[in-house]
Amino acid sequence: MIEREQVLHVAKLSRLRLDEDEVSRLEGELSSILEHVDRLAEIDIEGVEPTSHVVPLENVLRDDVPRPSLDRDLALSQAPDPHDGAFRVPSPQAEG
Amino acid sequence: MSDTDLIAATAAGTAALIRDRQVSPEECLEAWLERTAADDLNGYLWRADGESATNGVDGKADSPVAGVPVAIKDIFCTAGVPTTAASKILEGYRPPYSATAVRKLADAGMPMLGKTNMDEFAMGSSNENSAYGPALNPWDRSRVPGGSSGGSAAVVAGGLAPWALGTDTGGSIRQPAALCGIVGLKPTYGSISRYGMIAFASSLDQCGPLTQDVTDAALLLSQLQGRDEMDSTSTGIEGGVALPSAEDLTGMRFGIPSDLIGEGVDPGVKAVFDRTVARIEELGGTVSEIVLPHAGHGISAYYVLAPAEASTNLSRYDGVRYGIRDSNADLTSMYEVTRGDGFGPEVKRRIMLGTYALSSGYYDAYYGRAQRVRTMIVRDFDAAFVDVDFVITPTSPSVAFGLGEKTTDPLTMYLNDLFTVPMSLAGIPAISIPAGMAAPEGGGSEMPVGFQIAAPAFGEQKLLEASFALEKAINFDPSGGRVR
């Protein structure tokens, strides 16, 4: 069961501001989804290797040749607040 | 050559008309742009005009598809053209580059008709999670087209595009293809570059075609597949892809995973499935029962792994480099408010679920365990493919459901993907072809039913051959989906 405090904790980790309705709805929804997912505990996974990727590939490398990358102005063109050749962000210090 | 004849042709048929000079590429594009302008399915989020459709397209391309226009799911980056993944957080975003898949089609001389509607960040099975309203099923507008590639499926079925590009993470090409009565192919993981495809769950995401028939699926796949140095997980399909020509199914072995299919299939869908199995035998194929003992746990494993990967992939939407910014308070509040406002409810749910599954103290119990169950599902398929060439299931347990019918409980929606998710976890190719019609359980006119065929990794050619022969025998009538 997921409790309100856990929802708030995970929201904080996720950098998501949730309103009161969302918090109480997610409590129930995450609980019911995890209840279903908990069936995985029935399976004996002793000695089974995890799969993170299905294609057997290793060390795919390209030749180390310099080449142009994305133009700076183009990269900045979609930013909400580009400034002086950089992405400008608000101060990390909370005000007050 | 009238516009009506042109619109009625398959994409391969249209290519032939252009090659034989019965229609010029310009006339062809004009006829299709007139169709897209008539979109009343909310299938397109952005529609091209004559100029933007051909921008960057090689007009002199020497390719078998030159001049045949295509619709692109809004999850693919298209240089200078709005790309939102149906999310508010990417409103106004015009990518500085195009996805490899999009660029390959432009290089092959294919104009782009527009960007199609989808579930936000490809999370959903009904298209109802689009921030711009759902696309509608052209067979019955009170019903969903499926998802997440719902817009792509709706425009192809509705005759608003000759074919379309989609993506499939847990069924997002196959399920909407099934619900709209068209063909949808999820190729082997790695066949097509993911570069420029907005990431949802990177170990599962794969691009593929949604088309009117199996030949078109083969033709579009042949243009898309290939290794790309911009995606280190891309391998291409060795030997390429040829147009299928099988007349029958002699010598081909099909397996039904009875333990997976179980009881949860609507009777109408089951009847179409059984009829199709009988057809396989009439065509000389053999059908036997197989087991996939862990595939039934696919949904549980998937809804840990995919949200976990999504929660990390979507951390890039932070109001700094692209998309919207909704606050100018301190940095952390800016992140939280922008993401809280910009993401829709399903996306937030999955980010929360994924973050929880990866968080300290829960990682081994959820993420680690799900990865091990994934291994067991991979092994199930490996074992099955010793005895059979293909695994067959209904694509979806029901026909297209009503708008709003499954939105109250997320889990009910997730269970729709029961038959498509295991193949995604195993990374193997699977196709959905229209197999017949069935009445919805709650009443209403008959809707299309999809039949899923899966093959071992990189078995696309055999998969297309079998589907081609079966499609011919089924002889599905798509006309009920056409927008008049």
User: Which pTM does this prediction carry?
Assistant: 0.97
Q: Would you say residue B263 has pLDDT above 90?
A: no
Mean pLDDT value across residues A70-95:
92
CB interface of B with A, residues 72-101, below 8 Å: 93-97
Q: What is the pLDDT of residue A60?
A: 78
Which of B233, B239, B219, B226 minimizes the C-alpha distance to B189? B233
- Chain B hits for A38, Cβ within 8 Å: 300
Q: Is B258 a catalytic residue?
A: no
Q: What is the pLDDT of residue B30?
A: 97
A-to-B residue pairs, Cβ atoms closer than 8 angstroms: 174
Cβ–Cβ under 8 Å, residues B261 and B292: no
Q: What is the pLDDT of residue A1?
A: 83
Which of B425, B433, B311 minimizes the C-alpha distance to B372? B425
The complex's ipTM works out to: 0.95
Q: What is the pLDDT of residue A53?
A: 85
Share of chain B above pLDDT 70, in %: 100
Contact A55 B370 (CB under 8 A): no
Dihedral pair phi/psi, residue B438, rounded to 5°: -150, 150
pLDDT tier, A95 (very low <50, low <70, confident <90, very high otherwise): low
Q: What is the pLDDT of residue A29?
A: 96
Q: Is B360 a catalytic residue?
A: no
Instruction: Kindly report, residue by residue over B184-203, the tens digit of the pLDDT.
Output: 999 999 999 999 999 999 99
Contact B334 A90 (CB under 8 A): yes
Q: Would you say residue B475 has pLDDT above 70?
A: yes
Non-local (6+) Cβ contacts of A38 within 8 A are: B300
Contact B320 A37 (CB under 8 A): no
Mean pLDDT value across residues A26-48:
95
Cβ–Cβ under 8 Å, residues B241 and B460: yes
Which of B40, B465, B406 minimizes the C-alpha distance to B241? B465
Beta bridge partners of B420: none
- In chain B, the domains with their CATH numbers are 3-224 (3.90.1300.10), 253-297+379-481 (3.90.1300.10), 301-364 (no CATH)
Q: What is the pLDDT of residue B340?
A: 97
Q: What is the pLDDT of residue A61?
A: 83
Contact A43 B297 (CB under 8 A): yes
Q: Is B148 a catalytic residue?
A: yes
Share of chain B above pLDDT 90, in %: 95
Could you give the count of Cα atoms lying within 13 Å of B396 in the half-sphere of its Cβ? Answer: 37
CB interface of B with A, residues 449-478, below 8 Å: 457
* Residue A54, SS3 per DSSP: coil
Q: Which pair of tokens denotes residue B326?
A: 């909704």
Q: Is B351 touching A (CB cutoff 8 A)? A: yes
Q: Kindly report the CATH class assigned to A1-42.
A: mainly alpha
Mean pLDDT value across residues B204-215:
98
Which residue of chain B comes nearest to A48, CA vs CA? Answer: B372
Which burial class, exposed, middle or buried, applies to B372 when counting CB atoms under 10 A from its CB (0-12, 13-18, 19+)?
A: buried
Which of B84, B229, B353 to mutate against chain A (most A CBs within 10 Å)? B353
Q: Is A70 touching B (CB cutoff 8 A)? A: yes
Instruction: Compute the nearest-CA separation of B83 from chain A (Å).
Output: 12
Contact B304 A60 (CB under 8 A): no
pLDDT tier, B70 (very low <50, low <70, confident <90, very high otherwise): very high
Instruction: Kindly report, residue by residue over B344-362, the tens digit of the pLDDT.
Output: 999 999 999 999 999 999 9
Which of B78, B98, B339, B372 to mutate against chain A (most A CBs within 10 Å)? B372
Mean pLDDT value across residues B70-82:
98
Instruction: Kindly report, residue by residue over B26-39, the tens digit of the pLDDT.
Output: 999 999 999 999 99
Instruction: Kindly report, residue by residue over B410-424, the tens digit of the pLDDT.
Output: 999 999 999 999 999
Beta bridge partners of B168: B206
In this complex, which of B229, B332, B352 lies closest to A30 when CB atoms are compared?
A: B352
Which of B257, B360, B355 minimizes the C-alpha distance to B308? B355
pLDDT tier, A59 (very low <50, low <70, confident <90, very high otherwise): confident
Mean pLDDT value across residues B172-178:
98
Contact B232 A51 (CB under 8 A): no
Instruction: Kindly report, residue by residue over B105-128, the tens digit of the pLDDT.
Output: 999 999 999 999 999 999 999 999
> Quick one: angle between helices B214-224 and B11-19, nearest 10?
70
